Structure 1
C-alpha cells in the first residue's frame, strides 16, 4: 500500500516547487515508509510513498512507459495483473518490472480511459500523459482506497491519498463547508464527494477524472455501478457451491504477496470465513491477529481462538483495556476531517498488533453489505411490510403524531421503545432508512445547530445524500435498495475510511476479499431471500460455511466492534467531555446551541438519557477543530507550489 500526491498546472507549464511537492509527499510517509519518489517537469509534479508488497526490487514509483511520456503514481493492488501482462505484451508493450503498477501504464496506452474496466482490485492512481497533456485519476469501484483533490484559484490542481497532503501544500483554503457539517452530525462522516473543506473533494467510488491543460475542470465520470437484478434462479445448494468457489477465487487473488501475510480474526462470521478459506489455500499455517477486551460485554476473543484452534493458525491476541480512550487526538489527526465511528479505536489497535507480525492482512469488511448481515436490515424489512399496508399519507398523519408524542425510552425494555418505529412508519422507505442510521436525527440536529448556522444550511439536509443515491439504485426491492445505499454511503464513508487510515497509520496493507466487485455483482443477482430469511441475516453465506465453521460461530448474536462510550462519559472521561463539549473552541464557531450541548452532557452524565453517540460525535468534531483546522502548515511561506517562468 502506498500514498500518492501531486500538483498540476491547469493553465500552463509553470515550474513546480519541489519543496512543496516533497512536503506534500512526506505528510503521507506513514503510508509508504519503504521508499519515496518524485517526478517533476514543467507544470506537473507527482509524488509517491511506497510500502513494498509486490516486486520488491524493481517496483519503485513514479513508474513510466518505454519512452517516459506516461508516468503513474499508484496506491493499491491490481489483483489480476498477472492475467493482463501477457495480453498487453501481445499488443507490443514491453515490461521492465514484475509489478502491477506497470500494468496500469501499458493498459492506459492500450485502452485509454477504458483501462479501468480491466482492473480487478483496490486502487487510486494518477497518471500523467505528456503527449495528451492529460492528468487522469481513477478510484476503485467500492472506494477501498481514498483519493482527494482540489482546484485552487491560481489554477493549481492538487491531489492526494489523504486530505493532509492537500493541507500540507499550504494553498488550500480551510473554509468549512456547512453542508459537510450537517452530513457529519447526521452520519458520523462526511459523505462522498464532499469533504469538510469547501475547496476540496473526494473522488467518488468507481469514478475517473481527466484533467486537461488549458481546459476547465470536468466533472468526474462514473465507470461502474452495481445493479441489483435479483434475477438469477438458483437453489440454495447450487448457490452455496457457487459462493464457495467465488470466495476461494477472491481470497486466492488477495494472497499474492512477497511479504508476510495474515488475517484479522474477530470471531465473527466474516473474518472467520476468510480465515477458513485461507487455511484451505495455504500450505503454511495462516497468521491471525485479534484483540481481547477486559470487559466481557465487548470481548469475542474466545470465539476467535476457537477458529484459530480449528485451523491451527499462528494466532496472536493482545488484551486491550476497556478504558483505552487516549487516542482521541491521534484519531482526529489521522482522519483529517471529522469522523465519529468509535470502533476506530479497536481497529487502530488491531492494526497495530497485526503490523508486528505481517505487512498484509485480509479482513472480513464488506460482508454485512454484500451478504445482508446488519440487524437494521431485518428491522427495516419488518417496517416495510407495515408501510406497505397503509398509504403514505395515512401513515404520515397517524404515525407522525405517535412519533411526536411517544416518549424516548432508552431505559425501557426494547418492546416499549416504540418512538423510533413510529417515526419510521411515518416516512418513505428512503427517509426511514436515513432516519434509522442517523447518529443525531433531524430534530436533534435542529436543536444542536444555532439559528445562524441553520440559515447557512438554507434548508439542506443530509437526507439528500440518500435520496440522490436511491434515484440511481434501479431497484424497488426493499432489501436491495438499502444494501445499495450502504454500498454508496456507510461502506465508503465509514468502514473503508476507518480501515484505510487505521491500517496506514501502521504501514499495514489491508485487503478485503468480501468487497471483490465480481463477488458483489454476483450477489446482486441473487434473491433477497438468500440474504435475509426470517430473522437470519447472511443466510446464504452461513449456509455455505456450515461445513467449515461451528454453529456457535455462524449463528450466535452479532456483537460488533464496540467500546463502552456510555460508561466512559459518566466515569473516566466525564470532565474531558464536559470541557470539550461546553468549552470555548466549539462555542467560538457560533454554530452550536450552547443550551442544547449542556442538555446532552447533563442528561447523559446524570443517567437520565444515553447520549453517548451524539456526545462522541461532538467530541470528535471539537478534536478535529483543535488538531486539524487550527494546525499550522509546516512552511506557510510556500503557499502555491507553482512558480512563474523566469
Structure 2
C-alpha cells in the first residue's frame, strides 16, 4: 500500500520540488521510502508502505526499455498467476513484487490487463515516448485517485486531495453542490465531484488519459458492470451446487488477501461479515494452510466496543473469540466522546472530506490500535452491499415480489420491518418534532439547489445493490477505510470485494440474497458450521458505529459552541437560528433533528475551517493554537478543560494591557491593570481569590517598569470585577441546553438583535431566564415599551421597564471563557454586598500603605458597547467609575482577566495629567 502523486505539464527543473511536496503531504501512506521521476513534462512521485517484497519493489518503476514508468498503490493478489503466464510469454522479472508484474501486464496486454487484476489498485503509467500518463482505478474503487487541472494546461494527481494543494497551482474552494447533496441527502463520493471545487475523483473501473496539452480523456475500462447485468438477466437457481460455488469463491477471496511479507490482522465488529473472515482464517491457521502464514500462530483481531450501549456488539465479539479459543488474541478499543473531542481535528484532517456520521471514528480508533501490532488488516467491508445487509433492502425486495410469495416474505420479515419503523413510531407517539434538513439550511443556498434529486432503485434488489456497490453507499465507506487505515500506515484489505465472488452472486437467483425473511442467505449457508449460532442467526444489523445520541448529550457544550460561533453563522449553508433552536429541542427531548443531521453540519463547519479558511499545506502541519475567538473543539473535556475552545494564553504580566487595549484611558485619567486568573467555577471563593491576586500584584513592586510603577502608585486604587465571574461563583449560570425554553421565550427572543459582543436576550434560553427573573407580565410590558421606543427613535426603554438585573442577563458568546461560552447567566445576586465582602477581605489582608489607598470594589458589566455598574462600595458615582472602562480593558476569553486594579491618577503640578501613555 502506498501513496502516489504526479503531474503532466511542468518542466523537470520546476517539477521535482513540486513532487517532493506532494509526497511529503502523504508520508503516512508510505513511511518506508520514497521515489521520484521527472522526464520532459511528466513527473511521478511515490511513498512506499512495504508489504510484498520489502527489499525489491521500489518505485517509480521503469520498463526495461525505459519507455514506460509507473507508480502504483495497492495489491494485485493474483500477481503470481499473472507472473507465471507472462514468463511463459517471454517476460523476465528481477524482483518478487507485484509492481513489476502489473507494469509487465500493462505493456503486454494494454488496457485489457486492468480487468485481469484481482485486487485493489490506483496507478499511473507514463508513456515517456508519447508524453502521456494513464491513470486507472480498480473495479470497486477500493484505492483512491484524485486529479485537478490548474487552468494553464497542467494536470496534477494524487492518492489524497491535500497533496494537490501543496503544488501551489490548485486552490482549495468548496463545491456548494456537493455540500448541498451531503447536507440534504446524506450522500457523497457518488460522482466524480468532491467537496473541493475543481478536484475530481477517478471513478471505480475508470481510466483517464492525460496528454501534454492538458487534455483529459476519461472512460470505463472494465466489463464487470456489463457482466453483472447479463448475469442478473439469466440467473441460475440457488441450489446445493450454487451454494458450493459461492463457498469456494468466498474462501479463495479470503485466502488470496493473506499474501504478505508483514503481519496480518483482522477487524472484528461482531457482525456476520467480519466474523466470517475471522473464522475462515482461524480454520486456515488450524489446518496449517501455508497461505495463512502471515497471520501467525495466533490471529490478532481488533474491535471497538461500547459497554452498556444499545449498539454495543461485545457479546458477539466474545462469542466468536470463544469458538477460536487461544488461537485468537482479541484487542478491544473503547472510543469515548471525550477522546473523540481530542481526536476530532486530526480525524477531520484524516478524512479530507466530510463523513456521514461519527461512525468512521470507531474505525479510526481500531486502526490506531492495530498499528501497534500488524501492518495489514482484513475486514468485512462490501458484504452488506453485495448481499443486502441493511434493513431498508427488505423493502426493496418486497416491492419486487408479487402474489403469495410477497405475502409470505412480508410475514417472515415483520420483525425486521418493525425495527426499521420503530424510531418513526416512537417519534410519532412521543410527538417529537424532527426538523427536516432543508429547514436548517440557509435560505438562498437551499433555494439555489432545490432541484437536486437523488433517484433510488425501489423495486429491484440486484439493481439497487449495484448502485450502492458502485455509487451510493460503498464508495463512501471505502474512502473512510482507506483514510483511517493509511492514517496509521495500515493496509486495509476487503475480501468480499472480489470480482469472482461478485460474479458468482450475480449469476444466482435473488433468493441467494434474501429468502424467507433472511438476508445474506448464501453467506449464512456457507458459514452454518463455522460461526456460533448467536452470530450466525443475527437479524439485528448494527453496523460499525458509535453511540452517537449518548455522545452528543455528553459533548453538547462543544456542539453548541460550534453552532453559536461567528464562523458558523456567517456561512451561507446554515440558518444558525434554526439550527440552535433544533439543537435546543433535541437536548430537551422535543425532537429537533437527528444526530446525523447535526453531525453533517458540524463536519462541514470543521472541514471549512481546516481546509478552506486556513488550508494546510503539508503532512507536517500541526494543529497549533487557535486564534482568539475561533472554535477548535480538540480537547479533553472536564469542568474547566477549555483549552481546545480557547487555547490558554501565555500568562500576561500584570502591568501590560490586553491585546488591542491600553493601560491608560484617553487623557490619562485612569490606569488599568488587568489581572489574569484561573477559570472560576461555581462555589469558588471570589473574595479570597481577589486577595491573592491583588497581593501578587503589589508584591511585584520593583519588577515593574519605572513608568508603570508611577502609574500603579500614583493615587487611589480600586478593584474592578467582572460580573460574569460573580454570577459563575454564585451558581447563577446555566448551560443553555439545560434550560427549557417556553413558547413565549422562543417567540420574544426572535425580535432581539444579537451583536458580536453578546447575545443578551436574543436567545430563547436567556429570554426564559428573564421571564423567570422578572415575570412574564413585566417582560411583555417591557417588550411593548421597547417596540414603541424603536418606532419613535428612543433606545433602552425595554431595560428601563424590565430592570437593571435583566440588562445583565447574557447568553453564550464564543469569545467568553468557559463556562460562559456555553451558558446563559443571570446578574449576580446582591452585587453591592459582594463588593463590600471583597473590599473587607482586601483591607484585612493588605499592608497599611496599600489598604490606605484602596478605594473599594466595583462589580461591572462591561463590553465594547457600554458599561453598567451593578454594585460598588467606593462612594464615587457610577458615572465616574464607568469612565475607567470606556474601552472595556478586561478580557474574559483567552485573556482570562476578570479582575483589574484601576488607579485614579493624581494630577501633576500645574493641574495637568501625567504625560506617560502606555499603549497595548
Does TM, scored on the shorter chain, surpass 0.5?
yes
User: Does structure 2 retain, via aligned residues, the 8 Å contact 1:289–1:350?
Assistant: yes
1:479 paired residue among 461, 465, 472: 461
Query: What is the CA–CA distance in structure 2 between the aligned matches of 1:221 and 1:447, rounded to whole Å?
Result: 39
Matching of residue 461 in structure 1 with residue 452 in structure 2: yes
* More relative contact order, 1 or 2 (CA 8 Å, 6+ apart): 1
Per-residue CA deviations over 1:298-330 (Å, capped at 9, x if unaligned) read: 322232222223124331322414434223222
Q: Which runs of 5+ in 1 are unaligned?
A: 389-407, 421-439, 471-475, 636-646
- Taking structure 1 as reference, are residues 157 and 379 closer, same or farther at Cα in structure 2, changes over 3 Å only? same
Query: What is the CA–CA distance in structure 1 between the aligned matches of 2:122 and 2:373, rounded to whole Å?
Result: 26
1:80 paired residue among 72, 78, 81: 78
| SS in structure 1 at match of 2:157 | strand
Residue correspondences, number: 583
Aligned to 2:349: 333
Query: What is the CA–CA distance in structure 1 between the aligned matches of 2:311 and 2:436, rounded to whole Å?
Result: 28
Residue range with higher mean Cα deviation, 545-554 or 378-387:
378-387
- Taking structure 1 as reference, are residues 528 and 170 closer, same or farther at Cα in structure 2, changes over 3 Å only? same
Aligned to 1:447: 439
1:291 paired residue among 298, 304, 308: 304
Query: What is the CA–CA distance in structure 1 between the aligned matches of 2:28 and 2:557, rounded to whole Å?
Result: 33
Shift of 1:13: 4.8
Shift of 1:352: 1.3
Aligned to 2:329: 315
Shift of 1:287: 2.3
Aligned to 2:111: 113
| SS in structure 1 at match of 2:517 | coil
2:603 paired residue among 620, 635, 643: 620
Query: What is the CA–CA distance in structure 2 between the aligned matches of 1:38 and 1:146, rounded to whole Å?
Result: 20
Aligned to 1:8: 8
2:586 paired residue among 593, 604, 615: 604
User: Does structure 2 retain, via aligned residues, the 8 Å contact 1:410–1:417?
Assistant: no
Aligned to 2:386: 370
- Taking structure 1 as reference, are residues 319 and 508 closer, same or farther at Cα in structure 2, changes over 3 Å only? closer
Matching of residue 256 in structure 1 with residue 259 in structure 2: yes
Query: What is the CA–CA distance in structure 2 between the aligned matches of 1:92 and 1:599, rounded to whole Å?
Result: 71
User: Does structure 1 retain, via aligned residues, the 8 Å contact 2:445–2:573?
Assistant: yes
User: Does structure 1 retain, via aligned residues, the 8 Å contact 2:335–2:362?
Assistant: no
Matches within 5 A, 1:205-284: 205-214=204-213, 216-226=215-225, 227-228=228-229, 229-230=231-232, 231-282=234-285, 283=288, 284=297
Q: Which runs of 5+ in 2 are unaligned?
A: 289-296, 405-420, 619-920
Query: What is the CA–CA distance in structure 2 between the aligned matches of 1:223 and 1:411, rounded to whole Å?
Result: 42
Per-residue CA deviations over 1:460-491 (Å, capped at 9, x if unaligned) read: 4151xx46xx6xxxxx9621121112112244
Query: What is the CA–CA distance in structure 1 between the aligned matches of 2:431 and 2:91, rounded to whole Å?
Result: 64
User: Does structure 1 retain, via aligned residues, the 8 Å contact 2:442–2:575?
Assistant: yes
User: Does structure 1 retain, via aligned residues, the 8 Å contact 2:41–2:212?
Assistant: no
Across the aligned residues of Structure 1 and Structure 2, the Cα RMSD in angstroms comes to 2.7
2:556 paired residue among 574, 584, 602: 574
Aligned to 1:353: 369
Per-residue CA deviations over 1:552-602 (Å, capped at 9, x if unaligned) read: 1111222222222222223x2112111212322222222222332223212
Query: What is the CA–CA distance in structure 2 between the aligned matches of 1:387 and 1:179, rounded to whole Å?
Result: 42
Per-residue CA deviations over 1:199-235 (Å, capped at 9, x if unaligned) read: 1100000101111223632234342343243333234
Per-residue CA deviations over 1:334-362 (Å, capped at 9, x if unaligned) read: 11122223111110111112221111111
Query: What is the CA–CA distance in structure 2 between the aligned matches of 1:125 and 1:219, rounded to whole Å?
Result: 14
User: Does structure 2 retain, via aligned residues, the 8 Å contact 1:279–1:286?
Assistant: yes
User: Does structure 1 retain, via aligned residues, the 8 Å contact 2:154–2:214?
Assistant: no
- Taking structure 1 as reference, are residues 23 and 527 closer, same or farther at Cα in structure 2, changes over 3 Å only? same
Query: What is the CA–CA distance in structure 1 between the aligned matches of 2:369 and 2:402, rounded to whole Å?
Result: 46
Shift of 1:50: 0.6
Query: What is the CA–CA distance in structure 2 between the aligned matches of 1:569 and 1:418, rounded to whole Å?
Result: 21
Aligned to 2:485: 503
- Taking structure 1 as reference, are residues 349 and 510 closer, same or farther at Cα in structure 2, changes over 3 Å only? same
Aligned to 2:568: 586
- Taking structure 1 as reference, are residues 451 and 418 closer, same or farther at Cα in structure 2, changes over 3 Å only? closer
2:514 paired residue among 532, 538, 553: 532
User: Does structure 2 retain, via aligned residues, the 8 Å contact 1:341–1:494?
Assistant: no
| SS in structure 2 at match of 1:72 | strand
Shift of 1:409: 9.4
Residue range with higher mean Cα deviation, 324-333 or 224-233:
224-233
Residue range with higher mean Cα deviation, 107-116 or 153-162:
107-116
Query: What is the CA–CA distance in structure 2 between the aligned matches of 1:592 and 1:409, rounded to whole Å?
Result: 30
Aligned to 1:201: 200
Query: What is the CA–CA distance in structure 1 between the aligned matches of 2:479 and 2:431, rounded to whole Å?
Result: 33
| SS in structure 2 at match of 1:142 | coil
Per-residue CA deviations over 1:169-205 (Å, capped at 9, x if unaligned) read: 2221222222111222122534331111221100000
User: Does structure 2 retain, via aligned residues, the 8 Å contact 1:332–1:628?
Assistant: no
Shift of 1:535: 2.4
Matches within 5 A, 1:138-177: 138-177=136-175
Query: What is the CA–CA distance in structure 2 between the aligned matches of 1:18 and 1:157, rounded to whole Å?
Result: 15
User: Does structure 2 retain, via aligned residues, the 8 Å contact 1:582–1:594?
Assistant: yes
Per-residue CA deviations over 1:264-285 (Å, capped at 9, x if unaligned) read: 1122110111112212223233
Per-residue CA deviations over 1:3-41 (Å, capped at 9, x if unaligned) read: 1111111xx756443222101111101111111111112
- Taking structure 1 as reference, are residues 321 and 15 closer, same or farther at Cα in structure 2, changes over 3 Å only? closer
**TM-score (normalised: structure 1):** 0.85
